[in-house]
Amino acid sequence: MNDFPIAALPLWDWIVEPLQYGFMIQAIWVSAFVGLVCAVLSCYITLKGWSLMGDAISHAVVPGVVVAYALNIPFAIGAFLFGFGATVAIGYVKSKTRLKEDAVIGVVFTGFFALGLVLVTKIPSNIDLFHILFGNVLGISRQDIIQTLIAGGITLALILLRRKDLLLFCFDPNQAKAIGLNTQGMYYTLLSVLALTIVAALQTAGIILVISMLVTPGSIAYLLTDRFDRMLIISTIASVCSCVFGTYLSYHLDVSTGGSIVVLLTLLFILSMVFAPKYGVLAQEFRKRSHGAFEEKHNQQVFINKS
Amino acid sequence: MQATPPRLDIFVDNISVTYSNARLALYNATCTVEPGAITALVGPNGCGKSTLFKSIMGFLQPSQGQVRVGGFPVQKAQKRQLMAYVPQSDEVDWNFPVSVFDVVMMGRYGYMNVLRIPAPKDRRRVMESLERVDMADFRHRQIGELSGGQKKRAFLARALAQEGKVILLDEPFTGVDVKTEKRIIDLLMQLRDEGHTILVSTHDLASISTFCDRTILLNRTVLASGATADTFTADNLEMTFGGLPVGRVRQISQRPKQPSHQTEVDA
């Protein structure tokens, strides 16, 4: 039956046309998967206040990628070791000096990143620095997909198994300790899944933009709800949709994939910041006004009573 | 069934804590918190109250000395769910997306399997605890939507749900109205009569003699400890809160040790 409205046809084409290419199908489902992993973890990272830590890890993986290629081992292993190593280094420097944490993070991750730059320009390899920095999901290789799936799969499994403990750890580490949980272990669990997620997202978003995929979905959800379960759902929907449509956009407009994904995420963030029912700018303004009107009325009342 | 004795004391054995900026927060603190009694931990701001609290709860590692709870090291006692903790209000992130019910359920995690899936018994305990502090109607509220007193009661319910025999409350009366204070005190007295060991840190001197059986006076070290009637003397209070030369404090703390470690400073 030919009952498509005429106006919907271009949209249908817009969606279906790219799917005739194998690389597009691949890019779409890989970025959707990465979006899912990032969304779940981002709820924890936003609540724990670790976005700067995520930024640090994402930059610190660069030397790991280069070394991994030089040694001919999977890039994910090198990236993970260096990313996780950076967090250990941060913890160590912080405990041994009088510096504040943000300074320590700044020193360590830029150091790692700079080392990566030096290595990538010195060690002969076929690594394209541009692809590490900004991702290359349209040209992702089979091997890289497997590594992304493994890193993301481990992350999802770990979070699923420990989700309640991790939430308690983010909310009230003292209580976690008081009921005899191993908080040190949870600290490192969360750090390592953070590093794993960054490794998984490396090909999609690139190290510069991966932090957005780790912070923005959770932030959007946090503005929209007061329940952690709903936060997970909202975060996932926002993230996966942005990833899928961002990949489409990059195909149709011939622009950077990671860039368009993050632009979409940011748009969603702005929308929720303005229109969120309870914590949005408009809602707050409205509450303030109606409260002010109430005060005014109240004052008038007092005035009338006095006169 | 219960392998541990139902009444547990806290024994603080010669603890010193030095922070990384080389500040001595607490030195040679020795005291016992008796079971079946409410003990007040009193001292001026910066006297090491919260440091002692954190040492007892194992949140920080003292540079010297040890804490035993019912004869167990702290970590072991915590693994057995013996110790419940009610934090100060400003230690809690009130914007966190959890409900009152979720928070109280967190007190039950130690009894659940690895996935922390609550059993019917856990739900029952949570509801009982909520009812006991009169917060059952508020259980679906996000924790930030509560008043100061309700916030306190929610965390008190969490401590109840945990069924710890030892309960530590850090400044439970700050930001709380008189009515709530009275209700919390009533509840603490009930818990005491059920055999709980209760340690309350407070700087509200006025209310102490009304409900605290025992008092520990603290300023960098334990200056006096014992029954409230004996320790709560003008002399002791002046020693604790007045600007006392360190020399004399040391003198007091280094008095000849008697068998019952920290002596009660006689009036």
Mean pLDDT of B207-212: 88
Q: What is the pLDDT of residue A48?
A: 96
Question: 3-state DSSP: chain A helix, strand, coil percent, rounded to 5?
Answer: 85, 0, 15
Q: What is the pLDDT of residue A257?
A: 93
Give the torsion through C-alpha atoms of B108, B111, B114, B118, to 10 deg: -50
Q: Does B94 touch chain A (CB under 8 A)?
A: no
Q: Does B58 touch chain A (CB under 8 A)?
A: yes
Confidence of residue A21 (pLDDT cuts 50, 70, 90): very high
Q: Does A233 touch chain B (CB under 8 A)?
A: no
* Touching B: A residues 81-100, CB under 8 Å: 98
Instruction: List pLDDT tens digits, range A267-280.
Output: 999 999 999 999 99
Q: What is the pLDDT of residue B245?
A: 45
pLDDT over threshold 50, residue B136: yes
pLDDT over threshold 90, residue B65: yes
Mean pLDDT of A91-120: 93
Instruction: List pLDDT tens digits, range B73-101.
Output: 999 999 999 999 999 988 999 999 999 99
List CB contacts of B194: < 8 A, sequence separation 6 or more.
Answer: none
Give the bridge partners for B33, in sequence order.
B10
Q: Does B109 touch chain A (CB under 8 A)?
A: yes
Mean pLDDT of A283-296: 79
Cβ A181–B109 below 8 Å, yes or no?
yes
Q: Which amino acid is at B101?
A: F
Cβ B59–A177 below 8 Å, yes or no?
yes
Task: For A162, name the nearest residue in chain B, comparing CA atoms only.
Answer: B115
Q: What is the pLDDT of residue A293?
A: 66
Q: What is the pLDDT of residue B256?
A: 44
Integer Cα distance of B62 and B109 in angstroms: 27
Mean pLDDT of A289-294: 74
A-chain CB neighbours of B59 within 8 Å are 174, 177
**What residue ranges do the domains of chain B occupy?**
1-80+166-183+195-267, 83-163
Confidence of residue B255 (pLDDT cuts 50, 70, 90): very low
A-chain CB neighbours of B10 within 8 Å are none
Q: What is the pLDDT of residue A6?
A: 56
Task: For B162, name the nearest residue in chain A, comparing CA atoms only.
Answer: A179
Mean pLDDT of A178-187: 94
User: Of A168, A171, A178, which is closest to B93 when you measure between CB atoms?
Assistant: A171
Structure tokens at B16: 């010193």
Q: What is the pLDDT of residue A295?
A: 60
CATH dotted code for B1-80+166-183+195-267: 3.40.50.300
Integer Cα distance of A164 and B117 in angstroms: 9
In terms of DSSP bridges, do strands B10-18 and B24-33 run parallel, antiparallel, or are they unpaired?
Answer: antiparallel
Q: What is the pLDDT of residue B203?
A: 77
Q: Measuring CA to CA, how many Å separate A5 from each of A8, A14, B54? A: 5, 15, 68
By CB neighbour count within 10 A (0-12 exposed, 13-18 middle, 19+ buried), where does B13 fall?
middle
Q: What angle do CA B217, A178, B50 make, to 5 degrees?
A: 25
Between B142 and A2, whose confidence is greater? B142
Cβ A227–B99 below 8 Å, yes or no?
yes
Q: Which amino acid is at B174?
A: T
Q: Which amino acid is at B2?
A: Q
pLDDT over threshold 50, residue B114: yes
- Picking from B48, B7, B38, the residue whose alpha carbon sits closest to that of residue B168 is B38
Confidence of residue B238 (pLDDT cuts 50, 70, 90): confident
The pLDDT mean for chain B works out to 86
pLDDT over threshold 60, residue B259: no
Q: What is the pLDDT of residue A307?
A: 43
* Touching B: A residues 248-287, CB under 8 Å: none
Rounded to a whole number, what is the distance in Å from the CA of A78 to chain B's nearest CA?
31
Per residue in A66-76, is it b (16+ CB within 10 Å) or e — as a string? Answer: bbbbbeeebbb
Between A175 and B4, whose confidence is greater? A175
pLDDT over threshold 60, residue B4: no
Cβ B87–A161 below 8 Å, yes or no?
no
Q: Is the dihedral of CA B32, B34, B35, B38 positive or negative?
A: negative
Give the torsion through C-alpha atoms of B107, B110, B111, B117, to 10 deg: 80
Mean pLDDT of B94-116: 95
Rounded to a whole number, what is the distance in Å from the CA of B259 to chain A's nearest CA?
31
User: For every residue of B192-231, which 3-state class applies, written as one string?
Assistant: HHCCCEEEEEECCHHHHHHHCCEEEEECCCEEEEEEHHHH
Between A46 and A125, whose confidence is greater? A46
Predicted complex ipTM: 0.86
- Picking from B80, B61, B65, B79, the residue whose alpha carbon sits closest to that of residue B20 is B61
pLDDT over threshold 90, residue A9: no
Between B47 and A125, whose confidence is greater? B47
Integer Cα distance of A280 and A285 in angstroms: 9
User: Of B58, B97, B144, which is closest to A177 when you measure between CB atoms?
Assistant: B58
Name the percent of chain A lying above pLDDT 90. Answer: 76
Between A202 and B159, whose confidence is greater? B159
Q: Is the dihedral of CA A177, B34, B223, B86 positive or negative?
A: positive
Give the torsion through C-alpha atoms of A135, A137, A140, A146, to 10 deg: 100
Crossing angle (nearest 10°) for helices A183-224 and A22-48: 110
Q: What is the pLDDT of residue A11?
A: 86
User: Of B20, B97, B115, which is closest to A161 when you measure between CB atoms?
Assistant: B115
pLDDT over threshold 80, residue B71: yes
Pair A56, A87: CB distance under 8 Å: yes
The pLDDT mean for chain A works out to 91
Q: Domains in chain A and their CATH numbers?
A: 8-276 (1.10.3470.10)
Cβ B115–A175 below 8 Å, yes or no?
no
Confidence of residue A3 (pLDDT cuts 50, 70, 90): low
Between A245 and B267, whose confidence is greater? A245
Instruction: List pLDDT tens digits, range B5-39.
Output: 468 999 999 999 988 777 788 999 999 999 999 99
